[in-house]
Structure 1
Amino acid sequence: MRLIIGLGNPGAKYERNRHNIGFMAVDEIHRCHSSFSPWRARFQAQVSEGRLGSEKVLLVKPSTYMNESGRAVGEAMRFYKVEPQDIVVIYDELDLPPAKFRMKTGGGHGGHNGLRSITAHIGADYRRLRLGIGHPGDKKLVSNYVLGDFAKADADWLEPLLGEIAGNADLLAEGKDSQFANKLTLALEPEKAKRGGPRPAGGEQGGKTSAPKSPRSPGAKGQSHIRQARQAKAPELPKSGPMADMLKKLLGQKD
């Protein structure tokens, strides 16, 4: 059994908060995969059981509010007798720009109260999927910012991000975190896969253009410019007249 935990606060009041992006991700996994059962109350959380890839998975949304998330996670972990490595926690990250994400295992809580609570109940060695929401720029504004709703314009990056998480959730369940991260990066940042940008007109594949070729005479093919110069026909000199007399004096020629 694998546990995928989304962090957030329960209730319609908080539903679109930035702090609830973990709930949103788990809801999208549930919506996109028909194997999951309807949500039900258990372990001080809303849970749904199903299958992702080859793994049985329990989706968990703690009902304890963010600061007590560890109570629900610890209870579910003990019931299923799983290890921290079998748990993925999805949550909001102030220190990442919007639309960015990071996968990691273990580490500190970084001031996130949900992680602080989970670590207190099960230790720090669980896996984390951090979803960037950006920072308001002033520490005093953080509380209102994270408890504020996403703007309508945020849907441009939020919906694709949640969709790719749900579409590749089987890799999360199977512990293939690197593959999961690569899939999301290629889908959300396709410019990294293009290697040189769009193909220019008349150029070669891979965005490289052909260097212009200087014209050559038919007989010059394969010869160096030095050899060509040596083989060039010498210009004819005047044999009579003032110019001929001057050249003879310069070259020391006698009549």
Structure 2
Amino acid sequence: MTGAAGGPVSGATLIVLAKAPVPGRVKTRLTPPYTPEEAARIAEASLADTLDAVLATPARRRLLVLDGEPGPWLPPGIEVLPQCAGGLDERIAAAFAACTGPALLIGMDTPQVTPALLAPALADPGPGDAWFGPAEDGGFWALGLTEPDPSLLLGVPMSVAETGRVQRQRLYDAGLTVRVLARLRDVDTARDAQLVAAEAPHGRFARSLTAGSVTAARAPVAEPPTAGSPTAEPPTTGPLTAGPRAW
């Protein structure tokens, strides 16, 4: 059996937690300098690039857990499930609860994601394994669980500087072996957008920035992340200094 990209199908579910790209409801931290309409176009491009990567990644099931209504940006091959009400921890927990077997969840704020970055967490995870994708701001851009358990998410403070540390410690406290994916920058601010576009200059996201009517300050080119060889990591107990992360 082969996946959308022609490779062998992973036994895992690949989840994208996202908001429909509606002006005034998404990427509000981009306004200003962008208008709400421009910010929504940027969000749509970010989501489209993310879904392209998901479709190119072998998976048993591809699930978009969506706040809002699907639009013409939704490609074939993606199952849509409405997000539940509640805080971000509750919504992520509910997304995992909708899955059976291994699952990897990502957001829509890392349009530079590639199948190579996702692949380690989908390749025959072992019992008791968890995968954690740290974000530059102290949160996380990916979370993978061999056995989805909503209790691993509920009560974790989201969108604060210590989100990643608390979530990772929750996994360790449950006795899981936590393996780490590449660190990525997620798009919260206009500067984030410029840096991420420099990492992935050929995607819809980068084109959406150049197509806008607002010209943001040119950001230095960041070194692109590499997937590397994920390894088990001991608990992190020190404070994080990065800013908050939210989907």
TM-score above 0.5, yes or no: no
More helix, by proportion: 1
